[in-house]
Amino acid sequence: MKINVEQGFKTLVQEVENILLPVEGKVPEWLSGTLIRNGPAKFEVGKEKYNHLFDGLAMLYKFSFRNGKISYTNRFLKGHTFKSIIETGRIVYPEFATIPKSSLPHRIFLNATRHFTDNASVNVTKIGESYIAMTETPPRVEFDPDSLRTLGRFHYGDQVTGHLTTAHPQFDYDKKELINYITRFSLTSSYNIYSIKQGTTKRQIISSIPVKQPAYMHSFGMTKNYVILTEFPLFIDPFRLLLTGSPFVDNLFWKPEYGTTFLIIDKNSGKLVGNFKCEPFFAFHHINCFEDMGNVIVDIVSYKDSSIIKSMYLNKLRQGDLLLPTPEIRRYYLELGSNKVTTHILSKDFIEFPRINYRKCNTKNYNYVYGVSAHKSNGFSNKLVKFCIKSKSYKYWYKENNFPGEPVFVPMPGACGEDEGVILSLVIDTINCNSYLLILDATSFSEIARAYLPFAIPFGSHSQYFE
Ligand SMILES: [Fe+2]
């Protein structure tokens, strides 16, 4: 099926600062904070083109809520990568699926000396007092949360190094620390799990797990006591990557014969306490993980293989070839003390860009998942879904020719119920060629307001709400 969502993959050049958005409906007065979204927004440099949706140059978008009004700013993230293309008019740094047209020795030099791209287009978070944009290469870029102006490269207060990380850190509310991991390529590579105490910038290594073939993992799971690395059989060949100077994606190899492995790491001792093998699958996003009666439960958006990655080349998407592989929402039970894994399908509908009431429910048993899904199963996300795990029931928001992005749950102050709050999602309207911020009542999943933007915004990655 051909679907025209051209605007979603088109370069946006306009930057605007602090404009008041026209609103239809009523924005809740209690909503007082800022939604910051990240995503690729420039897909060519002169005559040179980026190949993949993950390659485009990062743009930050800010929606500020105050007294029922919404103000809006968007600005390119101007790190080294952005500055280099302005200075040279060419692509200088390798991205996920695009390499610069420079010589092979130059590309090998960039990799060997860890001159990674800082095109941090995937997500945002706060470390210490700094707001930072993140991608899967190690450099983080700091920005001003008011103006969205780029402040420069973010420096951790330590000497930890590595080659590949995630833009999906987790936050441990008990210990008040941020958790993430970084993979270091070597003859024996390693996954290095670290924590950063709230208010500080120093990474403390919790555990270093040696690994023969490092896997590509976009996110990881966490429970009260454990970090879960879900090691898909999509392995990186670091030496091939280094020596051929080829795009990162061309050095990922799907080896289903290895199956998928859940590595369970104790957050306190740093010990590997579980190593569970199951059938091969691939995922970008963990939904939530928690412990229950000696089991570690992992809810995850599971694809039967890694072909989803190759389905996101821009030339394919722009031709309207949007029949992407659809994932299953699976729950895995990992029985600690044994190697037993059982699994079942949690949701009959697919859900991507899964979000939960993170503050209240992350690492705990929970009931509601929000995400994007596909109307009439046409394979491309065009509706929002709220899934109730207990009752196996669904609520939807759908409007023809409108394409919503990741739904972010914001709890109402003093809320008791898990779903008391609102959902914020940026939607592309392909008929009117613009975007709007949609606000849904999270309980009823009905629309309560929308705020219109002056132009269409390309499909983005992830957003975070800051009080
Ligand atoms: Fe992601």
> In tens digits, what is the pLDDT along the chain, a chain of 467 residues?
456 688 889 999 999 999 999 999 999 999 999 999 999 999 999 999 999 999 999 999 999 999 999 999 999 999 999 999 999 999 988 899 998 887 777 777 777 776 789 999 999 999 999 999 999 999 999 999 999 999 999 999 999 999 999 999 999 999 999 999 999 999 999 999 999 999 999 999 999 999 999 999 999 999 999 999 999 999 999 989 888 888 999 999 999 999 999 999 999 999 999 999 999 999 999 999 999 998 999 999 999 999 999 999 999 888 877 778 899 999 999 999 888 999 999 999 999 999 999 999 999 999 999 999 988 755 678 999 999 999 999 999 999 999 999 999 999 999 999 999 999 999 999 899 999 999 999 999 999 999 999 999 999 899 999 98
DSSP letters for 158-213: S----SEE-S--EEETTTTEEEEEEEE-SSSEEEEEEEEETT----EEEEEEEESS
Write the single-letter amino acid at 384: L
For residue 378, what pLDDT is reported?
59
Q: Pull the structure tokens for residue 300.
A: 């995850």
Q: Give residue 167 CA to ligand 1 midpoint distance, Å.
A: 7
168 is in an annotated binding site: yes
462 is in an annotated binding site: yes
Q: How far apart, in whole angstroms, are the C-alpha atoms of residue 133 and residue 76? A: 11
Q: How far apart, in whole angstroms, are the C-alpha atoms of residue 214 and residue 220? A: 14
218 is in an annotated binding site: yes
Least Cα distance to 374 among 322, 441, 331 occurs for 322
Least Cα distance to 220 among 292, 136, 156 occurs for 136
For residue 3, what pLDDT is reported?
60
Least Cα distance to 403 among 369, 438, 443 occurs for 438
| Cβ burial 228-264 (10 Å sphere, 16+ → b, else e) | bbbbbbbbbbbeebbebbebbbebbebebebbbbbbb
Q: Give residue 463 CA to ligand 1 midpoint distance, Å.
A: 10
DSSP letters for 343-385: EEEEESS--EEEE--HHHHTTS---EEEEEE-GGG-SS--EEE
> What's the angle, vertex CA 205, arms to CA 199 and CA 207, rounded to 5?
140
Q: How far apart, in whole angstroms, are the C-alpha atoms of residue 375 and residue 382? A: 6
Helix (H, G, I), strand (E, B) or coil at 70: strand
- pTM (2 d.p.): 0.95
Domain positions in the chain: 6-466
Least Cα distance to 70 among 139, 14, 16, 18 occurs for 18
The answer regarding whether domain 6-466 maps to CATH 1.10.238 reads no
Residue reference for tokens 């500020």: 64
CB neighbours (10 Å) of residue 432? 13
Q: Give residue 135 CA to ligand 1 midpoint distance, Å.
A: 9
CB neighbours (10 Å) of residue 93? 22
For residue 102, what pLDDT is reported?
74
Q: Are strands 57-66 and 130-134 parallel, antiparallel or unpaired?
A: unpaired
Q: Give residue 282 CA to ligand 1 midpoint distance, Å.
A: 13
Write the single-letter amino acid at 429: D
115 is in an annotated binding site: no
